[in-house]
Structure 1
Amino acid sequence: MMQALLQSLIAAELPVLAAHDVTMWGYVVLGALEDQAVRTQNALAEAIGADKTRIIGTLDRLQAAGLITREPDPRDRRARVLAITERGRAVREAVRARIQSNENRLLARLSPADRAGLLNALRTLSELPREEITGAGRP
């Protein structure tokens, strides 16, 4: 059930992302930088569960579009410090608003109690450490 729902939700988000010229990974990066204004590329990759070499293209596109900045880390010139720009915040907010509007439309099909229960369950599960979800480290 979750797989089919997730695929449908992604299909609903893709046109929203395309309208703002952002990929799904680009949106994830903008969200991570919004939550914590400055990160190195390595820390960002770890936080979003991406391979650090594979997000470079995404970062290049976001920087070229003026959505993020990448500056040398004063503590380690080999590293880059990332920050979201005002334009990046505006794009993220516009995308998030459209996505949330669709989610609210779907959640309106549930009774208030079911909606509250679903959101509570999702919140609880999303706050679990990645290792707990993946079962990493278990025999």
Structure 2
Amino acid sequence: MDVPGSDALLPAVLRNRPSFVLLRLAALSRQHCADQLSSVGISQHQHGILCCLQEYGPACQRDIAARLSIDSGDLVAFVDGLQKDELITRQRDERDRRRQILSLTPAGARMLRHIEDLLDASEPGPLEVLPEDQRQEFLAAATLVLAHHAPDTWGEPADRSGVPVPAR
């Protein structure tokens, strides 16, 4: 029996393997987000840096690199671009001249609000095929798994408004 498009169909063993499915979904989601951010000339790592500075205040480059799991050497290029666009400032720490302290500028805060509006408008992105209740369940389940494996970085699982999700 000839199935239309069957030459491109992934093997069933892969389509039924959760790790493979999640990797493909992550790639799809990452590309969707990258497309939105590229429209304002920001990378996903740069967005993460702006988010850190907005939420936690001025911080040294090394701390931001560790928080976002970005190699500190790679972080420099992302920071250079943000500084060039006057979205952040970078200054030597007076107490330890080896450290660079990053701060969000007012222009950076405005850009971050614009980015968040842009991302909010593009949600639910690849998950649009799911009804809202299933999207919320998926988010809660994914967050629960991530919080279980990395509680230091994910904290307690919470809904989008920050309300903790009870363990099941």
TM-score (norm 1): 0.81
Identify the residue that residue 124 of structure 2 maps to in structure 1. 104
Q: Contact between 2:60 and 2:101, CA under 8 Å: does it hold in 1? A: yes
Aligned equivalents of 2:85 and 2:96: distance in 1?
26
| Matched residue, 1:45 | 65
Percent identity between matched residues is 21
C-alpha RMSD of the superposition: 2.4
Where does structure 1 lack aligned partners over 5 or more consecutive residues?
134-139
Residue 115 of structure 2 corresponds to 95
Alpha-carbon distance change, 128 to 84 in structure 1, aligned in 2, over 3 angstroms? farther
| Residue 117 (structure 1) aligns with | 137
Question: Per the alignment, in what secondary structure is the counterpart of residue 133 of structure 2?
Answer: helix
**In structure 1, the residue corresponding to 2:98 is in which secondary structure?**
strand
Residue 123 of structure 2 aligns to a residue whose secondary structure is helix
Distance 1:132 1:40 in 2: 19
In structure 2, C-alpha distance between the alignment counterparts of 1:61 and 1:40, rounded to whole Å: 16
Tell me: CA distance 1:63–1:103, structure 2 relative to 1, closer, same or farther (3 Å).
Answer: same
Structure 1 runs (4+) deviating above 4 angstroms are 105-108
- TM-score if structure 2 supplies the norm length? 0.68
**For 1:12, which of 32, 47, 52 is the aligned residue?**
32
Residue 55 of structure 2 is aligned with which of 35, 38, 46?
A: 35
Change (3 A) 1:77 1:129: farther
Matched, 1:25 2:45: yes
Structure 2 vs 1, CA of residues 110 and 31 (structure 1 numbering), >3 Å: closer, same or farther?
A: same
